[in-house]
Amino acid sequence: MASAAAFPIGVGSLPQIKGRSYLLDTNVLLHDANALNAFSEHNVILTVDVLEELDRFKRGNDERARNARRVARTLDSLRDGRPLSQGVPLGGGGSLFVFVTSFTSQLPEGMDRTVPDNRILAAALALRQLGQEIVFISKDINARCKADALGITAEDFRNQQVNFDELYTGWSERPVDDDVVDAFYAGETIQLPGPFRPNEGILLKSTSRPKKTARGIWRVDTGRVEPLQFGDAHPWGLSARNLQQHYALELLLRPDIQLVTMLGQAGTGKTLLALAVGLQLVAEEKQFRRIMVSRPIMPLGKDIGYLPGTKEEKLESWMQPILDNLQYLVDPKLEQSGDKVEYLFDTGVLEMEAVTYIRGRSLPRLFIIIDEAQNLTPHEIKTVVSRAGEGAKVVLTGDAYQIDNPYLDASSNGLTYVVERFKDQSLYGHITLAKSERSQLASLAAELL
């Protein structure tokens, strides 16, 4: 370890830290309040800039504000009469250090010393000068790029991330002999090599006659592939237009499947299918009390609380895509759809709610649709799904390629996290929709743009 005199003022005041250390950006803690315990036996370092940013974020009712308050309470509990600047033990075996010294003298000319991210990176430069192994962790791509330009190892926060390229699609194609397809149609038990996921869609395809196929679903309770129970269903008059939509309807209509996720690009029918089944099961079959539709509010300007009017009036602009689908379902010719959609709300068949207001509620016997769920964090998804009461069904839909949350991507959003974590559960089903059915133009846009 080099002597303090060899370095500019402030560097020599740093404690000697053994082993690898992770310097966290504020957005990591705002993303996951448990991030301090996500680095096993390694050390975690925060700067005073992080604490000050947490203090600014703690006021409010959104998820970031709640996480800021949780982190503050965690830091306070870790003190226990010991100075955070000298390190306090973490549960995984490492230690937490909080630096209050400014190291802006380490920054090269041209970097703005008033920017919090730059001051955090200055601490990393100081630690590197002392010969310590330091890794900068941030959800901010630009901050990671700046760190890399300074020669600092920088990584995304990978806790709760999944490998999106290998994400479970919810169905698989199995080549079989021609007589196996015949046996399946005859109701005989067929033997197929596994493994299978619960409620996985199985397409049996004849090796000699590729157009000869059969659609089935793997059932854990029977341990075999069964024909689709709702293969010819037309909920609220809607028909499936492709293979994946057939599997989607099967998952949505089966009463024993309590959680369904649907991934797909624009126009693949995610929201339309969910609403059609919801209307069928609520308005026609009375299996649920009502439909609750919600979607995360991701404003580009002011948040929903600053908009004029009642809650319903505030929600209307955010829920317009839902209303568009409802209008098509109740009146495909769109002649008197407005009055019919209004009737659904007036009679209590359908309710719209902002995700913000679901927290703390208990929702029994509801058909719950969370649209655009890719904009929710894993913790927010947990909060929503855990609200489901007895007899409720939750449907999560979204497009992992259209994420508006600046700190989420296809691998770290709550929707894909649910797919990865629930794929082996018997009360869960998933399908990835691949084909756009909205229009020829929409299909080409999804493919080419």
| pLDDT tens track for 260-278 | 999 999 889 999 999 999 9
pLDDT at 314: 65
Please say if the pLDDT value at position 8 is more than 70.
no
Q: Pairing state of beta strands 224-227 and 366-370?
A: unpaired
Q: Which of residues 95, 128, 155 is at a domain's end?
A: 155
pLDDT at 84: 92
CA distance 151 to 316: 48
Contact 76, 84 (CB under 8 A): no
Same domain, 259 and 115: no
Could you tell me which residues come within 8 angstroms of residue 27 by beta carbon, excluding any fewer than 6 positions away? Answer: 138, 139, 140, 407
| 169, 297, 328, 341 from 335: Cα distances, Å | 38, 30, 10, 12
Tell me the CB-side half-sphere exposure of residue 170, using CA atoms within 13 A.
25
Same domain, 282 and 381: yes
Average pLDDT for residues 54-62, to the nearest whole number?
89
According to DSSP H, which parts of 16-135 are helical? Answer: 26-31, 48-57, 63-79, 116-129
In a domain, 352, yes or no: yes
pLDDT at 61: 78
| E runs forming strands in 122-189 | 134-137, 153-155, 171-176
Which CATH number covers residue 103? 3.40.50.1010
CB atoms within 10 A of CB 268: 29
pLDDT at 166: 95
Q: Of 47-51, 153-157, 301-305, 392-396, which gets the smallest average pLDDT? A: 301-305
Average pLDDT for residues 439-449, to the nearest whole number?
75
Average pLDDT for residues 35-50, to the nearest whole number?
94
In a domain, 210, yes or no: no
Q: Identify the domain containing residue 62 by its residue range.
A: 4-155
Same domain, 150 and 243: no
The per-residue pLDDT for range 299-338, each reduced to its tens digit, is 434 444 555 666 666 667 678 889 899 998 988 776 666 6
pLDDT at 400: 94
Length of the chain: 449
Mind giving me the DSSP string for 222-239?
Answer: TTEEEE-TTTT--GGG--
Same domain, 247 and 390: yes
Which CATH number covers residue 335? 3.40.50.300
pLDDT at 121: 97
pLDDT at 53: 96
In a domain, 328, yes or no: yes
pLDDT at 4: 37
Same domain, 339 and 440: yes
Average pLDDT for residues 133-157, to the nearest whole number?
96
Same domain, 243 and 381: yes
Q: Structural domain tally of the chain?
A: 2
Q: Which of residues 126, 155, 184 is at a domain's end?
A: 155
CA distance 334 to 445: 24
Please say if the pLDDT value at position 13 is more than 70.
no
Same domain, 300 and 435: yes
In a domain, 194, yes or no: no
pLDDT band at 2 (very low <50, low <70, confident <90, very high): very low
Q: Of 127-131, 264-268, 288-292, 316-320, which gets the smallest average pLDDT? A: 316-320
Same domain, 269 and 368: yes
Average pLDDT for residues 161-173, to the nearest whole number?
95
Cis peptide bond N-terminal to 195, omega within 30: yes
Q: Pairing state of beta strands 290-295 and 350-354?
A: parallel
In a domain, 431, yes or no: yes
Same domain, 108 and 256: no
Q: Which of residues 155, 181, 214 is at a domain's end?
A: 155
Same domain, 274 and 135: no
CA distance 197 to 200: 5
pLDDT at 312: 65
Query: Vertex 398, ends 294 and 221: CA angle to 5°?
Result: 95
Higher pLDDT, 243 or 13: 243
In a domain, 335, yes or no: yes
Q: Provide the whole-model pTM.
A: 0.84
pLDDT band at 439 (very low <50, low <70, confident <90, very high): confident
CA distance 35 to 155: 14
Higher pLDDT, 37 or 339: 37
Same domain, 434 and 297: yes
Same domain, 15 and 119: yes
- For 192, the token pair is 């197929």
Helix axis angle, 414-422 to 378-385, nearest 10°: 70
> Which helix (H) or strand (E) segment is 328 a member of?
helix 320-330
Residue type, 323: L
CA distance 368 to 383: 13
Please say if the pLDDT value at position 226 is more than 80.
yes
Please say if the pLDDT value at position 190 is more than 70.
yes
Please say if the pLDDT value at position 406 is more than 90.
no
Q: Of 177-186, 281-290, 401-410, which gets the smallest average pLDDT? A: 401-410
In a domain, 196, yes or no: no
- For 337, the token pair is 């759809």
pLDDT at 140: 93
In a domain, 181, yes or no: no
Tell me the CB-side half-sphere exposure of residue 391, using CA atoms within 13 A.
11
CA distance 36 to 30: 11
CA end-to-end span of the chain: 54
